[in-house]
């Protein structure tokens, strides 16, 4: 059904199509529809996974970027995702970058975005999550946090600390995002001298809530090892690998299509090879003690199985949710179950 509808969605601006999809997901959150979906898509018991002291119904979850403002977590969980990572959320609300800022590259099963952390701010997101926790207990929710665009690097620690303090009571885990290519200067915070004060401040505010750091696929392997080592030495719970890439190598889309999309982070199938490589580098660097969440180019149960065998503790997707449709998690979980049988 989704394959029949997707050509029609392609006629819409990608961001407009996204919000139309969110509207449909809101309808799924009605109790009867939610419960019916959950009965159909509930992951098999064999997929239960314990990571960071949390019991996940499946190792497959939805990455940050789709539900930035925690508006449809219940629906996404009812569709079979083992966890949902909301955000990126900043201390203050911000509109993000000028539109258009989201583009499809269908022949590559890829997206290019330069959204720029558009979100309602941590206060509003926390209010939604507090209500959600009361109405639908048991959901596994990560909160991905970043700094505001107009916050200087010198004040970044304060932004992350305040956001972490407010998010921690409603989050199962926190992710420090210092790797988006769409906030000027943000990736410079991956430098260990800049990153360590942020990590220390977030950990102090998070208390017992696990904290991870999300890294860029565009960093050289040596720098990735440095960040992974820092994560281990600083006592983080793990690493999320990876964010989107600014690389355009290996695309099959035409040069005009790529030029039309312009600058921003590329996600989807073209990122798969590099994402898997970074996963292997990170796992080797952190050993067996830390969690590693693998993101980038994942669209099938076979992809998830490969990432888990390569050392991932959990696996996430986002772009394939656009291309494979709302039953992505259900299909992936069934494919993964069959591979494990």
Let me know if 180 is a catalytic residue: yes
Token readout for 150 is 């107009």
Compute and round to an integer the Cα radius of gyration of the chain.
18
Indicate the helix (H) or strand (E) that contains 144. Answer: strand 141-145
Q: Where are the beta strands (DSSP E) in 195-337?
A: 211-215, 238-241, 265-268, 291-295, 314-317
Cβ neighbors of 206 (< 8 A, separation 6 or more) are 164, 168, 174
State the catalytic residue, choosing from 180, 219, 267, 275.
180
Distance CA 52, CA 10 (A): 39
CB burial of residue 56 (10 Å; 0-12, 13-18, 19+): buried
Token readout for 93 is 């609300």
Look at the block and give the residue holding tokens 């690097």: 153
Length of the chain in terms of residues written: 341
Cβ(210)–Cβ(52) below 8 Å: yes
CA geometry: angle at 294 spanning 134 and 237, to 5°? 60
Half-sphere exposure of 198 (CA within 13 A, CB side): 32
Look at the block and give the residue holding tokens 């990455």: 63
Indicate the helix (H) or strand (E) that contains 103. Answer: strand 102-105
Strands 291-295 and 314-317: parallel
Closest CA to 269 of 308, 324, 227: 324
Cβ(115)–Cβ(66) below 8 Å: no
DSSP-H helix ranges across 246-286: 255-261, 272-286
- Catalytic residues, by residue number, are 180
């Amino acid at each position: 059904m989704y394959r029949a509808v997707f050509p029609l969605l392609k006629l819409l601006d990608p961001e407009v199509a996204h919000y139309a999809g969110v509207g449909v997901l809101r309808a799924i959150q009605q109790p009867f529809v939610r419960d019916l979906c959950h009965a159909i898509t509930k992951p098999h018991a064999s997929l239960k996974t314990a990571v960071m002291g949390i019991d996940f119904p499946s190792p497959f979850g939805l990455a940050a970027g789709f539900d930035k403002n925690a508006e449809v977590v219940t629906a996404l969980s009812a569709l079979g995702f083992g966890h949902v990572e909301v955000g990126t959320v900043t201390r203050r609300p911000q509109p993000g970058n000028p539109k258009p800022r989201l583009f499809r590259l269908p022949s590559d099963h890829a997206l290019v975005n330069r959204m720029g952390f558009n979100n309602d701010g941590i206060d509003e997101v926390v209010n939604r999550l507090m209500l959600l926790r009361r109405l639908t207990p048991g959901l596994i929710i990560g909160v991905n946090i970043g700094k505001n665009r107009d916050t200087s690097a010198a004040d970044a620690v304060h932004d992350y600390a305040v956001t972490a303090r407010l998010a921690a009571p409603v989050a199962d885990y926190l992710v420090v995002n210092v790797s988006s290519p769409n906030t000027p200067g943000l990736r410079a915070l991956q430098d260990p001298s800049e990153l360590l004060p942020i990590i220390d401040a977030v950990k102090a505010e998070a208390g017992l809530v696990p904290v991870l750091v999300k890294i860029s696929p565009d960093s050289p392997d040596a720098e990735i090892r440095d960040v992974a080592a820092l994560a281990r030495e600083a006592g983080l719970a793990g690493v999320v690998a990876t964010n989107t890439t600014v690389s355009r190598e290996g695309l099959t889309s035409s040069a005009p299509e790529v030029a039309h999309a312009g600058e921003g982070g590329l996600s989807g199938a073209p990122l798969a090879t590099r994402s898997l490589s970074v996963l292997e580098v990170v796992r080797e660097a952190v050993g067996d003690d830390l969690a590693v969440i693998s993101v980038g180019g994942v669209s099938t149960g076979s992809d998830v199985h490969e990432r888990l065998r390569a050392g991932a503790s959990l696996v996430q997707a986002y772009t394939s949710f656009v291309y494979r449709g709302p039953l992505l998690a259900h299909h992936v979980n069934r494919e993964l179950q069959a591979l494990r049988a």
